[in-house]
Structure 1
Amino acid sequence: MNTHRIRSPELEHDFVRDTKLGYEPEGTYGYVRCLEHGVPNPLVRWHYHEEYELHLIIETRGKVFVGDYIGHFEPGHLVLTGPRLPHNWISTDIPAEGVPLRDVVLQFSDEPLRRATDLIPDLRDVLPLLERARHGIEFFGMSDRARERLVRIRSLHGLKRFTEFLEFLGELSECSDYRLLSSMPLQSFDDDTSLAQISTIVDYITENSASQFSMAELSKRVGMSESQFSRYFRRATGNTFTDFVNRLRVTRACQLLMETDRYITNVCYDAGFNNVANFNRRFLEIKGMTPKEFRKQGEARFGGGAPRQG
């Protein structure tokens, strides 16, 4: 019998952010909150929250889960996750006595910073970084610098901490050696009208990814020829129309594989693919593993079974 056991990420509420877990005490910080913790720790779980989180691994190796991304981490692993993006780091080499300091973390809210960019034009340089963070960003070659910045930020308060944070945010926004982990961003370009049209189509595809539609049908919706639509679509999304749809459907399949026990055949059709062979081939191309392997590896995001409360 096929069940539908839900394995959704846990929403982290502010009231669980106890100093015993590694958080700074309420009232001792301003816009930027610091967190340090070792393993084992109740914070190590499949979860999400409203804040951005910059996460630096100090010790241990293991598997990292960000959205539908599954990868490996080691000391120096530096990732920025955006609001409500599920994530977890599962260490696989914890000694019997545990590790006192595994993670150094910064958390900061979305709305105040975006409102500030409306009032202070100089801050707008960070907006592309914030957009990329919605999908999770792994930075390369910045771990030593990040450690220095994070230690300094934690030691400062008030305006000095905020100034140091902004300088660090500026460095991250200028870093060109990075990769997006969970999915694809929508890139802007000069033709605002065409971008708006493509954005409308992207929204439609996202909401109806399990339905069957063709590029010819969607290009007619925005009054473009297929060749014109194809050109603008690739420029806006960084993908061909077919690749984008396949990636979106694979992302949906990943969610179903991680959060339900539906048979893989059912997941194939629920995600919008019309035959299992094509589904398996596209999934392997995009995720580097089969759907079965993905589901098996995804089980580890809870650290061994059901999600823990923390």
Structure 2
Amino acid sequence: MSRSKETGKQGSAPVYEMITVAPAQSFVLTRHDFPAERARWNYHPEYELHLITASSGRYVVGGHVGTFCAGSLFLIGPNLPHNWLSSLEKDELVPGRDLLVQIQSVWLQGLTELCPEFKILDGLLRDAASGVEFCGPSLKGFGQQMELIEKADSIERVTMIIKLLVDLARAPRRVLCSTQHSFVSKENKSQTIDMIIKFLLSVSLRDIRQADVARHVKMTPSAFSRLFQRATGDTFTSFVRRLRISRACELLVTTSKSVAIVGSEAGFSNLSNFNRVFLDDKQMTPREYRREAKTALNRPEV
């Protein structure tokens, strides 16, 4: 007897997914199994090109429910909740079910603004705000292009993704939601969450306290804590720790500041704490991360 498995229920608020682009890359390309922690009812500000490589089941995009099979390909716009639920036997695992390219909005917008030739993408991106599923005789080829992109090096990936997007802009597609279903409902208070995250990204994270942020958005600490965990799937403390790691990664790659100064500017109280948390999150020390990033960027180590 098969059943649909999921991590996160569509009856609950979608979880905010924080996506961090690695050094020397303009987007995130990843593959994951199902079930997996990442395979959940979620939303994020990036565009997501999503290929299902195996299994069948149902999906939910915004307010639309549909079915998928191996080879199904979707483009999901910013802040549009989504999830794909495979029909599986008990304890069954589908390895590498999801192949995703997650692209920052500013990257795509810059592409169309810089080159008039890419204006063909405008209509596709508008439709993506309501979710798009691709169809037609070229669908299998698009899936093959996605898998070739996964195997390519970082420079090749950029040109291959641009070509794929142009091809997709010309391909048959259907818009999934009758109206734009970007995550803006009053019940979920997404505007407040957006304000909170923008605030956290704009301030020093060294002495940030939950009570201060709650006051900034005019909420009581208890109401803030409930809203934040429901919307992000994470505690405030854990979320801030991830932001500190993300900021440290940026400083390690873009500056020649010492590891101690990087840790301090990223918001860590001392070097020992910084090294411990960084190693736990990245499975390498800050110095090792800087060395690998400099190698990826093909420039001298500082």
TM-score for both structures, normalised by structure 2? 0.54
The percent identity for this pair of structures is: 31
Please tell me whether residue 145 in structure 1 is matched to residue 146 in structure 2: no
Question: Residue deviations 1:238-272, cap 9 Å, x none?
Answer: xxxxxxxxxxxxx89xx79x97xxxxxxxxxxxxx
Please tell me whether residue 7 in structure 1 is matched to residue 15 in structure 2: no
Question: Residue deviations 1:54-109, cap 9 Å, x none?
Answer: 11111122110000001111112111000110000111224534111211111111
How big is the alpha-carbon RMSD for the aligned residues of Structure 1 and Structure 2?
2.9
How far apart are the structure 2 equivalents of 1:11 and 1:125? 30
Please tell me whether residue 90 in structure 1 is matched to residue 95 in structure 2: no
Say if 2:49 and 2:76, in contact at 8 Å, map to a contact too.
yes
How far apart are the structure 2 equivalents of 1:41 and 1:147? 21
Question: Residue deviations 1:161-189, cap 9 Å, x none?
Answer: 111111111110001x221101247xxxx
The amino acid that maps onto 1:125 is I
The amino acid that maps onto 2:53 is I
Please tell me whether residue 174 in structure 1 is matched to residue 134 in structure 2: no
Tell me how far 1:160 sits from its aligned partner. 1.7
Q: How many residues align?
A: 181
Say if 1:125 and 1:170, in contact at 8 Å, map to a contact too.
yes
How far apart are the structure 1 equivalents of 2:179 and 2:55? 29
Q: Which moved more, 1:60-69 or 1:135-144?
A: 135-144
- After TM superposition, the runs of 4+ consecutive aligned structure 1 residues lying more than 6 A away are none
Relative contact order higher in (CA < 8 Å, ≥ 6 apart) = 1
2:152 aligns with 156
Closer, same or farther: CA 307–72 of 1 in aligned 2, 3 Å: farther
How far apart are the structure 1 equivalents of 2:177 and 2:104? 20
Say if 1:56 and 1:143, in contact at 8 Å, map to a contact too.
no
Closer, same or farther: CA 158–38 of 1 in aligned 2, 3 Å: closer
Say if 2:57 and 2:69, in contact at 8 Å, map to a contact too.
yes
Say if 1:39 and 1:94, in contact at 8 Å, map to a contact too.
no
Unaligned 5+ runs, structure 2: 1-10, 189-229, 235-302
How far apart are the structure 1 equivalents of 2:142 and 2:18? 26
Question: Residue deviations 1:197-247, cap 9 Å, x none?
Answer: xxxxxxxxxxxxxxxxxxxxxxxxxxxxxxxxxxxxxxxxxxxxxxxxxxx
Paired residue secondary structure (1:71): strand
Say if 2:17 and 2:232, in contact at 8 Å, map to a contact too.
no
Paired residue secondary structure (1:88): strand
Unaligned 5+ runs, structure 1: 1-5, 16-24, 186-250, 260-305
How far apart are the structure 2 equivalents of 1:164 and 1:129? 17
Task: Pick from 99, 107, 112 the counterpart of residue 107 of structure 2.
Answer: 112
How far apart are the structure 2 equivalents of 1:178 and 1:34? 22
How far apart are the structure 2 equivalents of 1:173 and 1:113? 13
The amino acid that maps onto 1:150 is M
1:236 aligns with none
How far apart are the structure 1 equivalents of 2:55 and 2:90? 9
Closer, same or farther: CA 151–121 of 1 in aligned 2, 3 Å: same
1:68 aligns with 63
Say if 1:80 and 1:138, in contact at 8 Å, map to a contact too.
yes
Task: Pick from 127, 131, 138 the counterpart of residue 132 of structure 1.
Answer: 127
Paired residue secondary structure (1:106): strand
Closer, same or farther: CA 116–59 of 1 in aligned 2, 3 Å: closer
Closer, same or farther: CA 307–140 of 1 in aligned 2, 3 Å: same
Say if 2:73 and 2:143, in contact at 8 Å, map to a contact too.
no
How far apart are the structure 2 equivalents of 1:161 and 1:144? 19
Tell me how far 1:307 sits from its aligned partner. 9.3
The amino acid that maps onto 1:93 is L
Paired residue secondary structure (2:74): strand
How far apart are the structure 1 equivalents of 2:124 and 2:108? 12
How far apart are the structure 2 equivalents of 1:11 and 1:112? 20
Equivalent residues in 2 for 1:238-257, closer than 5 Å: none
Say if 1:35 and 1:104, in contact at 8 Å, map to a contact too.
yes
